[in-house]
Amino acid sequence: MVVLKNVAKTYRTRRGEVHALSDVSLHIEKGEFIVLCGPSGSGKTTLLMTIAAMLRPTSGSVCIDESDLYGINIRERAKFRARNIGFVFQMFHLVPYLNIIENVLLAGRVFGQNPRADTAGDLLKQLGLAERAFHKPAELSAGEKQRTAVARALFNRPQIILADEPTGNLDPDNADSVLGHLSEFHRSGGTVIVATHGQTAERFADRVVYLRDGSIEKSG
């Protein structure tokens, strides 16, 4: 379970302070599919990064399974992230010099062991990328890149997948395909949190949380 209590995040810029999140409290049950919705600048990505243990809030707390994410040191937080959280980003963020299977295996290498290539191969097969396994990201379509990112997110069998505008650069068919794979993960008991300003993801969601100016406008 993910619990955010009175989370606020303020960025200090040359032009003054920007309140990206203000007093956000949110409970996300294990196995829930949540869509964080809202216009650009509403704080969706900031909230996602805060849940991802990558952005310390200015105030408030973030707990996952009763573990306070920002009460542990940075090394422990990185370990926690590697074991429990998978990421999917709008810009895919694949490593350009690694082929597809190596990009997926990169997620497993973090534990200092040689990750199993056959597991990565199975994942790519499930996501329809088996024939692209040895291609470089530059040789793939946007949809294939995003499915590779999904495979990488799934590789360590995380509890939670955080997706930031995962369909932002995809055509409707590919968007459906990617959301379908996230939904499959959700059906197998995983928690999915998707930040988006569109409405494509809402039909897969158990709950939609609307953000505006850094606060939760409504949830339901």
Partner 1 sequence: MSILALILKEIHHRKINFALGLLAVVTAVTLFIGFFTAGKASNRETARLMLSMGYNMHIIAKNADMNQFLITGIADETMPEQYLTKLASQKRISYNHLLATLQKEISWRGLDVILTGLAPEVCPPGRKKPPMSFEIEPGSVYVGYRVAESLGLKQGDRVKIREKELTIFRCLAESGGADDIRIQCRLPDAQEILEVPGRISEIRAVDCLCFADANDLVTVLRKEIGSLLPEAQVFQAKAIAEARAGQRQMVRNLFAVIMPFTIIACGVWIGVLAIMNVRDRQQEIGIMRALGYGSGPITLLFLGKAALIGLLGAVVGFLLGTALALNFGPDVFKLTAEKMIKPEIFLLIVSLIFAPVFAAVSSFIPAMIAVVYDPAVTLREE
Scanning 32-40, 76-84, 177-185, 206-214 for contacts with partner 1 by CB under 8 A, the matching segment is 76-84
Scanning 90-98, 172-180, 184-192, 199-207 for contacts with partner 1 by CB under 8 A, the matching segment is 90-98
Q: How many residues sit close enough to partner 1 to count as binding (CB under 8 A)?
A: 30
97 binds partner 1 (CB under 8 A): yes
Cβ at position 203, least distance to partner 1 in Å:
25
Q: How far apart are CA 169 and CA 140, in angstroms?
A: 13
Residue from 18, 68, 95, 203 touching partner 1 (CB under 8 A): that is 95
Amino acid at 68: D
Amino acid at 41: G
Look up residue 189 and give its DSSP letter.
T
110 binds partner 1 (CB under 8 A): yes
Q: What angle do CA 186, 181, 128 make, to 5 degrees?
A: 150
14 binds partner 1 (CB under 8 A): no
124 binds partner 1 (CB under 8 A): no
Residue from 17, 18, 65, 91 touching partner 1 (CB under 8 A): that is 91
Scanning 22-30, 82-90, 170-178, 200-208 for contacts with partner 1 by CB under 8 A, the matching segment is 82-90
Scanning 31-39, 74-82, 183-191, 207-215 for contacts with partner 1 by CB under 8 A, the matching segment is 74-82
- Cβ–Cβ under 8 Å, residues 11 and 182: no
Provide the H-helix boundaries in the chain: 44-51, 74-84, 100-109, 117-126, 142-155, 172-187
Q: Which of 110, 200, 188 is nearest to 146 (CA)?
A: 200
140 binds partner 1 (CB under 8 A): no
CB contact set of 16 (below 8 Å; sequence gap of 6+):
none
Residue from 22, 42, 90, 200 touching partner 1 (CB under 8 A): that is 90
Q: Which two tokens stand for residue 171?
A: 């055509």
Locus of tokens 């097969």: 125
Burial class (CB in 10 A: 0-12, 13-18, 19+), 5: middle
9, 22, 41, 108, 126 from 154: Cα distances, Å: 29, 31, 28, 10, 11
170 binds partner 1 (CB under 8 A): no
89 binds partner 1 (CB under 8 A): yes
Q: Which residues bind partner 1 (CB under 8 A)?
A: 45, 49, 52, 54-55, 75, 78-79, 81-83, 87, 89-91, 93-98, 102, 105-107, 109-110, 114, 152, 164
